[in-house]
């Protein structure tokens, strides 16, 4: 059992950290903190990030992927500010699903610009009435010769307001299997099939993109329908990785908040000495470091399990839930160390706290994740009352 990073992993981590300080943070600082980045700015960042293979880390090497492990991906991903890395994760997830389910002709059309970061992508699954149970979707695709017509509404989509392409999960109208509707996917290219996209105002990650899409008789070329369906298997494995990455976003924010609090605690004096010398403040620092370290290790372990070919559903659910809850508390403790300054926009911790509050929802709420982990522990399916396999 070796907890040390390899020399290559350290080089990858440090290379991304330098990229963040030189090219990503200056862009974030130069734009309003309460509004989404201009699309042109995000595309520039994506094109640089693509040089490291981080827009398509799950793509096989023979398909143009970087040939890195999921653990290596997580080590580098952790360094990137979540307002950018959340958009990266949306791009990566879309690329992964397109590669798994599209024909070779479709891959040749869609993937190159996404892998290179020239275009932005996302997936549309969640609807106003449907989240964790995808069988409740209502968006419908009606085939009409060489075209198809899409009607419905998707919500809580990262990248949708700026995307060039969205992979939409929908009902294939007129088809059924065993008496149930057939769920299918279709690629909607915005320049060929315009649709309405709206930004959703949210508590945090305000420089990223979060929105909804409305498809009102949206005509899509029939050649964009994704006929193959690897279904639950691809979706589940995608979620496993995503959950670890969201957990590492929490680690990123908690680490930044902790370091800001530590710097402040060493210089701010009360009762004749730095506040970092007081017992309860030192306990706060100990709690923060414990939360950050444990969260990082749980996420790394789940990613290592995936690389080793082990089942990681429960491990990834546990990692994300633990990291999000405990790192949120760590950011809150860092704000408390700064006292009144912790509430100020100048210090920046209030922004980190708002950002980290965005993380419980993507790729499974804490409650759903607890049930996923519980199913693995007990062998019983809590969602529908059935015994596990």
What residues are paired with 220 via a beta bridge?
148
Which SS3 state, helix, strand or coil, does residue 62 take? helix
Which helix (H) or strand (E) covers residue 157, if one does? strand 147-158
Q: Please, are residues 319 and 302 in contact by the beta-carbon 8 Å criterion?
A: yes
Rounded CA gap, 84 and 78, in Å?
A: 11
Please state the length of the chain: 389
8 Å CB contact between 94 and 165: yes
Locus of tokens 């060929």: 192
Q: CB neighbours (10 Å) of residue 8? A: 10
In this prediction, residue 381 carries a pLDDT of 85
Give the side-chain half-sphere CA count within 13 A for 216.
4
Helix (H, G, I), strand (E, B) or coil at 172: strand
Closest CA to 296 of 255, 256, 263, 354: 255
Instruction: Indicate the burial class of 300 (C-beta count within 10 angstroms; 0-12, 13-18, 19 or more).
Output: buried
Whole-angstrom Cα distance, residue 113 to residue 226? Answer: 19
Q: Are 154 and 139 in contact (CB under 8 A)?
A: yes
HSE on the CB side for 145, CA within 13 Å?
1
Q: Give the Cα separation of 389 and 380 in Å (integer).
A: 8
CA distance 180 to 136: 11
CB 46 within 8 Å of CB 91: yes
Give me the pLDDT at residue 174, please: 80
pTM (predicted TM-score): 0.93
Candidates 28, 30, 80; CA nearest to 54 is 80
Tokens of 179: 């008496």
- Residue by residue, pLDDT tens for the chain (389 residues) are 889 999 999 999 999 999 999 999 999 999 999 999 999 999 999 999 999 999 999 999 999 999 999 999 999 999 999 999 999 999 999 999 999 999 999 999 999 999 999 999 999 999 988 766 667 789 999 999 999 999 999 999 999 999 999 999 999 988 877 778 888 999 999 999 999 999 999 999 999 999 999 999 999 999 999 987 655 566 667 889 999 999 999 999 999 999 999 999 999 988 999 999 999 999 999 999 999 999 999 999 999 999 999 999 999 999 999 999 999 999 999 999 999 999 999 999 999 999 999 999 998 899 999 999 999 999 988 866 555 54
250 near 81, Cβ under 8 Å?
no
Q: Quick one: pLDDT at residue 389?
A: 46
H helix runs in the chain, sequence order = 7-19, 25-30, 39-50, 70-77, 82-101, 104-115, 231-267, 279-307, 313-338, 349-356, 366-378
φ, ψ of residue 35 to 5 degrees: the values are -135, 155
Rg (CA), the chain: 22
157: closest CA among 169, 143, 173, 175?
Answer: 169
Q: CB within 8 A of 107, min separation 6: which ones?
A: 63, 98, 99
- Do the bridges between strand 140-144 and strand 147-158 make them parallel or antiparallel, or are there none, so unpaired? antiparallel
CA nearest to 295, candidates 258, 261, 260, 263? 258
């Amino acid at each position: 059992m070796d907890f040390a990073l390899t020399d290559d992993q350290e080089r990858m981590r440090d290379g991304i950290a330098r990229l963040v300080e030189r090219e990503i943070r200056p862009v974030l600082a130069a734009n309003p903190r309460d509004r989404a980045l201009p699309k042109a700015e995000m595309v520039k960042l994506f094109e640089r990030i693509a040089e490291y293979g981080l827009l398509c880390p799950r793509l096989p090497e023979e398909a143009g992927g970087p040939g890195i492990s999921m653990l290596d991906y997580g080590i580098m991903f952790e360094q990137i500010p979540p307002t950018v890395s959340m958009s990266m994760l949306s791009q990566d997830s879309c690329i992964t699903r397109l590669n798994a389910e599209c024909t070779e002709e479709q891959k040749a059309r869609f993937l190159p610009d996404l892998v290179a970061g020239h275009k932005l992508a996302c997936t549309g699954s969640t609807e106003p009435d449907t989240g964790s149970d995808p069988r409740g979707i209502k968006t419908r695709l009606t085939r009409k010769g060489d075209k198809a017509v899409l009607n419905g509404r998707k919500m809580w989509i990262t990248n949708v307001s700026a995307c060039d392409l969205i992979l939409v999960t929908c009902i294939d109208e007129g088809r059924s299997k065993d008496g149930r509707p057939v769920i299918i996917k279709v690629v909607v290219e915005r320049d060929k099939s315009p649709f309405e996209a709206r930004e959703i105002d949210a508590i945090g990650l305000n420089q990223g993109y979060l929105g909804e899409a409305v498809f009102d008789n949206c005509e899509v070329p029939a050649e964009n329908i994704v006929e193959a369906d690897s279904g639950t298997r691809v979706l589940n494995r995608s979620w496993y990785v995503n959950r670890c990455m969201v957990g590492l976003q929490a680690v990123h924010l908690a680490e930044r908040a902790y370091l800001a609090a530590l710097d402040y605690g060493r210089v701010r004096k009360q009762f004749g000495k730095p506040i970092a010398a007081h017992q309860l403040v030192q306990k706060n620092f100990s709690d923060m470091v414990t939360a950050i370290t444990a969260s990082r290790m749980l996420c790394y372990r789940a990613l290592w399990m995936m690389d080793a070919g082990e089942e990681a559903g429960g491990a990834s659910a546990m990692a994300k839930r633990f990291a999000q809850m405990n790192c949120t508390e760590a950011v809150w403790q860092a704000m408390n160390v700064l006292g009144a300054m912790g509430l100020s926009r100048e210090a920046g911790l209030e922004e980190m706290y708002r950002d980290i509050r965005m993380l419980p929802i993507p790729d499974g709420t804490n409650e759903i994740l607890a049930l996923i982990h519980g199913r693995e522990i007990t062998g019983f399916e809590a969602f529908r009352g059935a015994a596990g396999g």
